[in-house]
Chains A and B, each alone.
Chain A
Amino acid sequence: MKNSIKVERAKKDLTQGKLADLTGVSRQTINAIELGKYVPSALLALKMAQIFECSVEEIFQLEEGE
């Protein structure tokens, strides 16, 4: 699963640390999600969508074959 968290963060001028604080997780978690090493829970994905003021599908997209 690919994601556009980095782009969305840049749009909102948020650092990984700031996004981590807003979502209530660690910076390591945000980093792992951005790198595609970890797929977040639905709750965390919804929280991110709320912060970025967009839908979950705009942040997370399925890759071919998934």
Chain B
Amino acid sequence: MNKLKLLPRWCRFLGLALVIPCIGMFVIDPEIVFGESTWSIFGGDPSGRFVVEVFSLFDSSANDPNLSWYAWVKNDLSNELMLTAMLFGTYCIAFAKIKEEDEYSNQLRLEAMSQALVYNGIILLIFNWLIYDGLFLYVMISQLFSFLLLFSFIFAMKIRNQRKLVTYEE
């Protein structure tokens, strides 16, 4: 049967192990997404212990409004690490195989994906009219993962409901 190419089942647990700490850290200190209050939640040096010189495609300093190409800049990598963990984690959760993978689960996956797309759009539209200025940056950042998280949640609910239904049949 033509099955979707999916990640092994253990990837779901790896994804959860990556996503849950990231969400936890964000809840404790939302500023962490900007890499400025790095690890202050752990009582560390607020200037950040992940500040290293990195390669940047573009660079602009406060004094010079012009962009320059290919610069080496000092940057706190904590938010980049967090974004990588969140992206990798959410993809692992969303595209890991379930226990019994077959054509019906593929159908449920498709339904969950289309529903997540609609709900994500509605949430964005509501926040667009309720959250303004700098705070909207958090909405934009959350939109990077919200679709995959919503999809994973809706799909898990569909599978759970289907399993529940089966126990009462036959």
Contacts and interface: CB of A to CB of B under 8 A. Distances in A.
Label chain B's interface by main secondary structure.
helix
Nearest to B99: A26
Interface residues of A, number: 18
Nearest to A38: B104
Contacts of A35: 165, 169
Interface in B59-82: none
B17 to A, nearest CB: 27
A15 interface: yes
Contacts of A28: 100, 104-105, 159, 162-163, 165-166
Contact of B104 (A15, A16, A24, A29): A29
Interface in B3-58: none
A60 to B, nearest CB: 15
Interface residues of B, number: 14
Interface in B118-170: 159, 162-163, 165-166, 169-170
Contacts of B166: 16, 27-28, 31
Contacts of A43: 1
Label chain A's interface by main secondary structure.
helix
B170 A41 contact: no
A9 B166 CA distance: 16
A36 interface: no
Given A16-B170, A31-B169, A41 B163 contact: no
A31 B23 CA distance: 37
B1 A41 contact: yes
Nearest to B100: A26
Interface of B: 1, 100, 102-105, 107, 159, 162-163, 165-166, 169-170
Q: Which 5 A-B pairs have the closest CB atoms?
A: A26-B100, A29-B104, A25-B102, A28-B162, A31-B166
Given A28-B100, A35-B169, 8 more contacts: A16-B169, A24-B102, A25-B103, A25-B104, A28-B159, A31-B162, A43-B1, A44-B1
6 contacts: A24-B1, A25-B104, A28-B159, A32-B104, A40-B103, A44-B1
